[in-house]
């Protein structure tokens, strides 16, 4: 068909559907990035945070997985066999040494699993005790932070959302709890609660966890939620006044939608960061209490109680103190550094 | 001093008083909720003896009466009653005994932490991103993550057991050196980081550039202009530092066998000496609350730019 000048006829070739290749060409060169992906990218670029994260993952995995295949139990006294006198050669073994009966087996050509860190004064394999101690310390830190998180969110959002007299009343209580000397109160409550709880827990499934850990959780639930609730209240108060919330309201958004789509996503990074920074704090408190003898119930080990037990034989077995000391410091250090990295990566107000 | 400042100070003092009252109340009722009285541990005691002892210590009266008596004795005479396990001694005397060593220990530690922290922080800020700054930051990061008891036992292993340079018993001459170092390391590291960041902040201000442009000498800028303003945030750390030293000394005194208040506290927890536990908790709490209050007030008064709430 001949094309005439000024004709109203359209060139149909211009209107055939684009092929897949052409479509692909028109698509943006780079996929658009979400807030979360952007943060992860920043986090991965931060070497210190990345290394700390790997250290945390390695420690956590070994605390969970190693007890599955390790041939010794944390409370198993190797020198004690039912019906025989206690074999004292198993007590206080140096690293990679063996007890008398094990030595006999090795001489006979059998293989015996080595005691990597030796044994303690009751003949218990020290490596597995350190692993269990790490497990307990991590679990306490994690659950204590979750408790703090839940109570903090609940109280903080109630205070921030309702406002008025309720807010004033809650914030005065928060002020007072905040100015209480926390460690002294923790020691006081922990030393008293364990006595009260022992009788109350007897026979329930909670008995196995031990009254000391439960009292530690109660203490955390009572005292440490205040800074979290302050944070959340502040967030809600400032977010409520933001212009995009007003804009959403003006376009007819329901408050349910505003909370889900605007308030929570903007709050969540701050909340996650301060929870991450709460975990080392809890681990620290637990080890401090265990060191004073107010922590986990024997024979359950925690890193703090292992260090405290090792204090007795410190002149001959210093490594028994150094090992849990290094593990605690490593956990606390890498959690702190990772928390800092998270804050740098996910707190958009700091990037500005 | 304007009326707003005075209002703030009054409010802050009221909050401190309220906090101390809450501490006393919690301590009293928590201690009295313990199952089995303080005499439970004693061997072979007849009902009559326990009754007589309870009457002697006023423990047979109703709980609220005991509470108000206790409160009144503290407020009017600063009297925490007699110690139950250390016969014939008043709680306040035992605490005063322990305080002598602990206060010395704590004050020296705080002083060392403050001086070295500020100096190291300033050096790090002035030599930003050089080797010395990086070394200081790595060391302080490590110190901040190490619990005080771990620091204490590591020093004990190194200097007492391996090197044998210092005695491990805090009651002997030179025995306080290690406890002081242990207690001062964490606050020192914290103050270093605080000083560094606030110094960097101040050094970037316009008035520093103006001073430089006017030809003021480097040292005059550092000490006359930068130092003064960058120390303001350090004031806020006074309260938390005292709290850290108080709680830290509880374990540190245990590790180095220092005859201070922290050791009495731990042994009274083990012995269930209720009046001692209550007295020590309350006195240490008052110390911490007052120091927090002082540092808060100082902070707001020193810097007129800070808005009062």
Cα separation values, A322 from A291, B141, B150, Å: 14, 19, 8
Q: Please report, rounded to a whole number, the percentage of residues in chain A having pLDDT higher than 90.
A: 3
pLDDT of residue B111: 93
Round the average pLDDT of chain A to a whole number and report it.
Answer: 80
Rounded distance between C-alpha atoms, residue B267 and residue B86, angstroms = 11
pLDDT of residue A109: 72
Residue A23 has pLDDT above 60, yes or no: yes
Q: Would you put residue B307 in left (φ > 0), alpha (ψ -120 to 50) or beta?
A: beta
Indicate the pLDDT class of residue B219, thresholds 50, 70 and 90: confident
pLDDT of residue B115: 93
Contact B145 A189 (CB under 8 A): no
Residue A252 has pLDDT above 80, yes or no: yes
Indicate the pLDDT class of residue B33, thresholds 50, 70 and 90: confident
- Report CA B139 to chain centroid distance, whole Å: 23
- The Cα of B281 is separated from the nearest Cα of chain A by a number of Å equal to 6
Q: Which residues of A touch B143 (CB under 8 A)?
A: none
How many CA atoms does the CB half-sphere of B43 hold within 13 Å? 0
Indicate the pLDDT class of residue A3, thresholds 50, 70 and 90: low
Contact B182, B155 (CB under 8 A): yes
Q: Which residues of A touch B27 (CB under 8 A)?
A: 188
Contact B37, B59 (CB under 8 A): yes
Instruction: Indicate whether A84 belongs to any domain.
Output: no
Q: Compare B179 and A264 and report the one with higher pLDDT.
A: B179
Q: Compare B120 and A239 and report the one with higher pLDDT.
A: B120
Rounded distance between C-alpha atoms, residue B266 and residue B250, angstroms = 7
Contact A89, A80 (CB under 8 A): no
- DSSP 8-state code for residue A125: B
Contact B289 A292 (CB under 8 A): no
Of B30, B153, B289, the CB nearest to A189: B30
- The Cα of A199 is separated from the nearest Cα of chain B by a number of Å equal to 9
Q: What's the whole-number mean pLDDT along residues A93-100?
A: 70
Instruction: Indicate whether A189 belongs to any domain.
Output: yes
pLDDT of residue A352: 40
pLDDT digit string (tens) for A121-172?
A: 777 888 888 888 898 889 888 888 899 888 988 888 888 877 788 888 888 8
Q: Does B288 touch chain A (CB under 8 A)?
A: yes
- Tell me how far apart the terminal alpha carbons of chain A are, to the nearest angstrom: 61
Range of the domain at A219: 44-76+124-346
The secondary structure element, H or E, covering residue A187 is: helix A182-201
pLDDT of residue A181: 80
pLDDT digit string (tens) for B82-105?
A: 777 777 788 888 888 888 888 889
Instruction: Indicate whether A116 belongs to any domain.
Output: no
Contact A333 B254 (CB under 8 A): no
Could you tell me which residues come within 8 angstroms of residue A48 by beta carbon, excluding any fewer than 6 positions away? A337, A341
Residue of B153, B182, B271, B277 to mutate when probing chain A, most A C-beta within 10 A = B153
pLDDT of residue B184: 92
Residue of A56, A172, A175, A179 to mutate when probing chain B, most B C-beta within 10 A = A179
Q: pTM of the predicted model, to two decimals?
A: 0.78
Contact B251 A176 (CB under 8 A): no
* Residue where the block lists tokens 């969110």: A153
Instruction: Indicate whether A99 belongs to any domain.
Output: no
Least confident of A207-211, A300-304, A344-348: A207-211
Instruction: Indicate whether A175 belongs to any domain.
Output: yes
Domain containing residue A193: CATH number: 1.10.3720.10
Rounded distance between C-alpha atoms, residue A310 and residue A200, angstroms = 31
- DSSP 8-state code for residue A119: B
Q: What is the 3-state secondary structure (H, E, C) of A273-335?
A: HHHHHHHHHHHHHHHHHHHCCCCCCCCCCCHHHHHHHHCCCCCCCCHHHHHHHHHHHHHHHHH
pLDDT of residue A58: 93
Rounded distance between C-alpha atoms, residue B269 and residue A344, angstroms = 43
pLDDT of residue A185: 82
Indicate the pLDDT class of residue A182, thresholds 50, 70 and 90: confident
* Residue where the block lists tokens 């025989």: A84
pLDDT digit string (tens) for A271-308?
A: 888 888 888 888 888 888 888 877 777 677 888 888 88
Rounded distance between C-alpha atoms, residue B47 and residue B30, angstroms = 25
Domains in chain B, ordered, with CATH? Answer: 91-272 (1.10.3720.10)
pLDDT of residue A204: 67
Residue B142 has pLDDT above 90, yes or no: no
Q: Return the structure tokens found at A83.
A: 């019906």
pLDDT digit string (tens) for B244-260?
A: 888 888 888 888 888 88
DSSP chain B: --HHHHHHHHHHHHHHHHHHHHHHHHHHHHHHTSSS-TTTTSSS--HHHHHHHHHHTTTTS-HHHHHHHHHHHHHHH----B-SSSTT-BHHHHHHHHHHHHHHHHHHHHHHHHHHHHHHHHHHHHTTTSHHHHHHHHHHHHHHTS-HHHHHHHHIIIIIIIS--S-S-TTSTTTTHHHHHHHHHHHHHHHHHHHHHHHHHHHTSHHHHHHHHHT--HHHIIIIIIHHHHTHHHHHTHHHHHHHHHHHHHHHHHHTT--SHHHHHHHHHHHT-HHHHHHHHHHHHHHHHHHHHHHHHHHHHH-TTSPP-
Name the 3-class secondary structure at A2: coil
Contact B41, B269 (CB under 8 A): no
Of A183, A188, A325, the CB nearest to B150: A325
Q: What's the whole-number mean pLDDT along residues A31-49?
A: 80
Instruction: Indicate whether A314 belongs to any domain.
Output: yes
Q: Does B271 touch chain A (CB under 8 A)?
A: no
pLDDT digit string (tens) for B263-284?
A: 888 888 777 777 888 888 888 8
Q: Please report, rounded to a whole number, the percentage of residues in chain B having pLDDT higher than 70.
A: 93
Contact A185 B23 (CB under 8 A): yes
Q: Compare A54 and A180 and report the one with higher pLDDT.
A: A54
Q: Residue B239 class from Cβ within 10 Å (0-12 exposed, 13-18 middle, 19+ buried)?
A: buried
* Vertex A137 angle, CA A133 and A142, to 5°: 150
Cα separation values, B56 from B27, B52, B192, Å: 21, 6, 53
Residue B112 has pLDDT above 50, yes or no: yes
Instruction: Indicate whether A82 belongs to any domain.
Output: no
Domain count across chain A: 1
Rounded distance between C-alpha atoms, residue B264 and residue B105, angstroms = 15
A85 C-beta neighbours (distance < 10 Å), count? 8
Rounded distance between C-alpha atoms, residue B133 and residue B200, angstroms = 12
Instruction: Indicate whether A88 belongs to any domain.
Output: no
Contact B150 A329 (CB under 8 A): yes
Residue B25 has pLDDT above 60, yes or no: yes
């Amino acid at each position: 068909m001949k094309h005439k000048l000024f004709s109203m006829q359209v060139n149909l070739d211009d209107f055939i559907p684009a092929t897949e290749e052409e479509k692909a060409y028109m698509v943006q060169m780079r996929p658009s990035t979400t807030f979360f992906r952007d943060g992860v990218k920043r986090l991965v670029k931060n070497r210190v945070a990345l290394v700390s994260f790997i250290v945390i993952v390695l420690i956590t995995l070994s605390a969970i997985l190693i007890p599955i295949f390790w041939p010794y139990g944390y409370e198993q006294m190797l020198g004690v066999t039912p019906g025989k006198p206690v074999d004292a050669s198993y007590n206080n073994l140096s690293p990679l040494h063996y007890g008398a009966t094990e030595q006999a087996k090795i001489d006979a050509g059998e293989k015996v699993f080595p005691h990597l860190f030796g044994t303690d004064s009751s003949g218990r394999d020290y490596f597995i005790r350190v692993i269990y101690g790490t497990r307990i310390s991590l679990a306490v830190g994690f659950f204590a932070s979750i408790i703090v998180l839940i109570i903090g969110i609940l109280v903080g959002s109630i205070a921030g959302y309702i406002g008025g007299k309720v807010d004033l009343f809650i914030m005065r209580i928060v002020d007072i709890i905040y100015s209480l000397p926390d460690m002294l109160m923790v020691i006081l409550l922990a030393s008293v609660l364990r006595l009260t709880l022992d009788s109350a827990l007897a026979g329930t499934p909670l008995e196995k966890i031990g009254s000391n850990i439960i009292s530690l959780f109660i203490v955390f639930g009572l005292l440490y939620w205040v800074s979290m609730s302050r944070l959340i209240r502040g967030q809600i108060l400032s977010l409520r006044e933001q212009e995009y919330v007003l804009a959403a309201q003006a376009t007819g958004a329901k408050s349910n939608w505003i909370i889900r789509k605007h308030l929570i996503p903007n709050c969540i990074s701050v909340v996650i960061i301060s929870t991450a920074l709460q975990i080392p704090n809890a681990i620290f408190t637990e080890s401090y209490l265990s060191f004073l003898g107010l922590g986990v119930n024997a024979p359950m080990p925690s890193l703090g109680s292992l260090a405290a037990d090792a204090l007795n034989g410190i002149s001959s077995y210093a490594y028994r103190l150094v090992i849990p000391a290094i593990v605690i410091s490593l956990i606390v250090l890498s959690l702190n550094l990772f928390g800092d990295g998270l804050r740098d990566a996910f707190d958009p107000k700091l990037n500005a | 001093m304007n009326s707003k400042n005075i209002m703030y100070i009054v409010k802050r003092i009221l909050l401190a008083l309220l906090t101390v009252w809450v501490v006393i109340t919690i301590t009293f009722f928590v201690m009295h909720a313990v199952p089995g009285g303080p005499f439970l541990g004693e061997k072979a005691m007849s009902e009559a003896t326990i009754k007589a002892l309870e009457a002697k210590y006023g423990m047979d009266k109703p709980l609220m009466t005991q509470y108000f008596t206790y409160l009144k004795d503290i407020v009017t005479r600063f009297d925490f009653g007699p110690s139950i396990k250390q016969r014939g001694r008043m709680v306040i005397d035992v605490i005063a005994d322990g305080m002598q060593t602990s206060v010395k220990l704590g004050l020296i530690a705080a002083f060392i932490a403050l001086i070295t922290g500020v100096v190291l922080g300033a050096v790090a800020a002035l030599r930003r991103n050089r080797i010395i700054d990086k070394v200081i930051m790595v060391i302080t990061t490590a110190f901040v993550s190490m619990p005080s008891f771990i620091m204490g036992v590591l020093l004990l292993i190194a200097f007492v057991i391996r090197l044998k340079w210092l005695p491990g018993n805090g009651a002997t001459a030179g025995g306080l050196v290690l406890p002081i170092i242990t207690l001062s390391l964490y606050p020192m590291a914290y103050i270093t980081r605080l000083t560094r960041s606030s110094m960097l902040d101040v050094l970037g201000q316009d008035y520093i550039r103006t001073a430089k442009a006017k030809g003021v000498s480097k040292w005059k800028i550092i000490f006359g202009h930068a130092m003064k303003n960058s120390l303001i945030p350090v004031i806020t750390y006074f309260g938390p530092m005292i709290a850290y030293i108080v709680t830290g000394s509880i374990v540190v005194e245990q590790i180095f066998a220092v005859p201070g208040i922290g050791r009495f506290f731990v042994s009274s927890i083990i012995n269930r000496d209720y009046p001692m536990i209550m007295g020590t908790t309350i006195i240490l709490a008052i110390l911490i609350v007052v120091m927090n209050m002082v540092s808060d007030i100082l902070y707001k008064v020193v810097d007129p730019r800070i808005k009062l709430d």
